[in-house]
Structure 1
Amino acid sequence: MKLATWNINSLNVRLPQVLDWLQANPVDVLCLQELKLTDDKFPMDAFTQAGYHAVWAGQKTYNGVAILSRQPGTGMIRNIPGLEDPQQRVLALTVPAPGGDIRVICAYCPNGQAVGTDKYEYKLHWFAAMREWLKGELDLHPRLAVLGDYNVAPADADVHDPAKWEGQVLVSGPEREAFFALIDLGLVDSFRLFEQPEKTFSWWDYRMMGFRRNAGLRIDHILLSNILAQDCTACVVDKGPRGNPQPSDHAPVIATLKD
C-alpha cells in the first residue's frame, strides 16, 4: 500500500499534473495541500474518472487540503478540534487497508513568515494544538499516518546550506522542537527509516534557479505511528514533477507499506 503527500500550490493550475502523476503512480492515498480554491470549485469529477474518492477543505486563494483515496473513507474531521482557526489546514479520514484501517491526517502546517512575527507565533501555537489533538487520535487509531507540508526542516541534513539558513523560519530551534514534539507522541519520520541520498529535498524556491542548483529543503513529511512504521518498506521523494513546466515548488513524497 502506498501513501503520498504533495503540496501542489494551486489545484487549478496543477490539476493536469496531478492526474498525470496519479496515472503513472497509482498510490492508494494522496494528500494534497495548498488547493487555493473554494469547496465548490474542487474538481471531483476529474478524480472520480481517475478512480479516486475525495474529501476536501477549500479556501479561496490560500491554504486548502484534500485526501484522495482508492477506497471511500469514514470518520472525516475538518480542522483541529477546539482550535478556532478560519484557515483550512487539516483533514482526517479513516481509509481501509489490507492490514487494518489506517487513520490518515493531511496537514498543511503554517509557514511562519519570519521568526518573531505574529505569523511565527501563530505557527507555534498551531503546532501545540496539533500535538494535543494527535495525542487523542493516536489513542483511538494506533495505525495512524500524518502526511503533509510541515514547513519545518527537522535537521541540518534536510537543508541545502545550513549556515545560510541558520536561525531562519523553517529551521529555527522552536520550530524544530515543535516538530519533534509530534515525534515524541509515538510517531516516526518514515523517510529516515532508510538510507537516503545526501541532499534529498522536497521543496525548492522558484527563485534563483533553486531546483537546478538543488538549493532545497526537506519540509514535506510522512510521519507514521510505531505500528505502521514496522510495516514501512520504503519512503522516497519523487523529484520528477518539480521539473515540469509550471511546476509546484514541492515534490511528492511516497511511503510504501506492506499489505
Structure 2
Amino acid sequence: MKIATFNINGIRARIDALAAWLDAAAPEVVLLQEIKSQDADFPRKTFEDRGYFVETHGQKGFNGVAILSKLPLEDVTRGLPGDPGDDQARWIEATVAGKAAVRLCGLYLPNGNPAPGPKFGYKLSWMERMRARAAGLLGEEVPVVLAGDYNVIPQAEDAARPEAWVEDALYLPESRAGLRRIEYLGYTDAFRARDQRPGQYSFWDYQAGAWARNNGIRIDHLLLSPQAADLLRGAGIDRAVRGGDKPSDHVPVWIDLDA
C-alpha cells in the first residue's frame, strides 16, 4: 500500500499538477494539506474519476486537509481533539482496510511564526494535543500513520542552511522537542528509517531561487506506530515534482506498507 503526504498549496491552483502526479505515481492513499477549499467546493470529480474515495476537512481560503484513497475509508473523523474552540481545519482521520486495517491521520501542523508570540504558543499547544492523540492511538494496537506537513525541521541535516533557520519557529528547540516527544511515544520517522543521507528535502521556497540552488528543508513527515513500522517496505521523496509546471512549494513524500 503506497501512502503519500502532499502539501498541495491550493487545490484549485495545483489540480493539474496533482492529477499528473497521481497518474504517474499511482499511490493507493494520499493525504493532502493546504487544500484552501471549503468541502463543498473541493473538485472531487477529478479524483473520483481516477478511482479515489474522497474525504475532506476544509475551510475557505487557507488550511484544509483531505484524504484520497483507492480503498474505502471508514470511521472518518475531523478535527484534532483537545480544544473545542479550535476551528482551524488541520486534522482528519480515517481507517483504510487492505491486508491490514491502517488508521490514517492527515495533519497540517501550525507554522508558528512569528516566534515568540501567540502563533508560536498555538503551535506548541497543538503539538501537545497531537501527542495526546498519538498516545491514545497507540492503545488501539493497530497500524497508525501520522502523515502531513509538520512545519518542523527535525535536525540540522534536514536543512540545506540550518543556520538560516535558528530563529524560525520551524527549527526552534521547542518545536523540535515537541516532535521528539511524539516520536518517543514509539513512533518511527519512516523516511529516516530508510534513508539517512543529508540533502533530502520536501520543501523549497518560491523566493530567492531556492529550488535552483537546492536550498530546501525536510518538513513533511510520516510517523509510524510500531505496528505500521513492522510493515514498512520503502519510503521516498518525489523531488522531481517541484520542477514541474505550476508546482507546489512542497513535494510528495511516500511510504510503501505491506498492508
Task: Please indicate the TM-score interval, normalised by the length of the shorter structure.
Answer: over 0.9
Q: Within the alignment, does 1:237 sit opposite 2:237 as a pair?
A: yes
Secondary structure of 1:14's counterpart equals helix
Q: Tell me by how many angstroms 1:114 deviates.
A: 2.1
Q: Secondary structure in 1 aligned to 2:120?
A: helix
Amino acid at match of 1:35: I
Report SS of the residue matched to 1:209. Answer: coil
Please, which runs of 5 or more residues in structure 2 have no aligned partner? none
Task: Report the CA distance between 1:235 and its aligned residue.
Answer: 1.1
Paired position in structure 1 for 2:122:
122
Confirm or deny that 1:63 pairs with 2:54: no
How far off is 1:115 after superposition? Answer: 1.7
Q: Which residue of 1 aligns with 2:90?
A: 89
The number of residue pairs the alignment matches comes to: 258
Q: Structure 2: how far apart are the matches of 1:120 and 1:239?
A: 29
**Structure 1 segments of 4 or more deviating over 6 A?**
none
| Match of residue 190 from structure 1 | 190
Aligned-partner residue type, residue 70 of structure 2 = R
CA distance in 2, matches of 1:142, 1:96: 11
* Contact preservation (8 Å) 1:145, 1:223: yes
Structure 1 portions without partners, runs of 5+ = none
TM-score (norm 2): 0.97
Q: CA deviation at 1:81?
A: 2.0
SS where residue 140 of structure 1 aligns? coil
Q: Displacement of 1:226 after TM fit? A: 1.1
Structure 2 counterpart of 1:202:
202
Residue in structure 2 matched with residue 254 of structure 1 by the alignment? 254
Identity %: 38
RMSD over aligned CA atoms reads: 1.1
Q: Which amino acid aligns with 1:93?
A: A
SS of residue paired to 2:104 = strand
C-alpha displacement of 1:108: 0.3
Letter in 2 for 1:189: D
Indicate conservation of the 8 Å contact 1:159/1:199, yes or no.
Answer: yes
Q: Equivalent residues in 2 for 1:31-50 (5 A)?
A: 31-50=31-50
Asked if 1 retains the 8 angstrom alpha-carbon contact of 2:101 and 2:142, the reply is no
- Distance in 1 (alpha carbons) for counterparts of 2:242 and 2:27: 18
On the 8 A contact 1:202/1:239 being kept in 2, the answer is: yes
The aligned counterpart of 1:223 is 223
Q: TM-score, normalised by structure 1?
A: 0.97
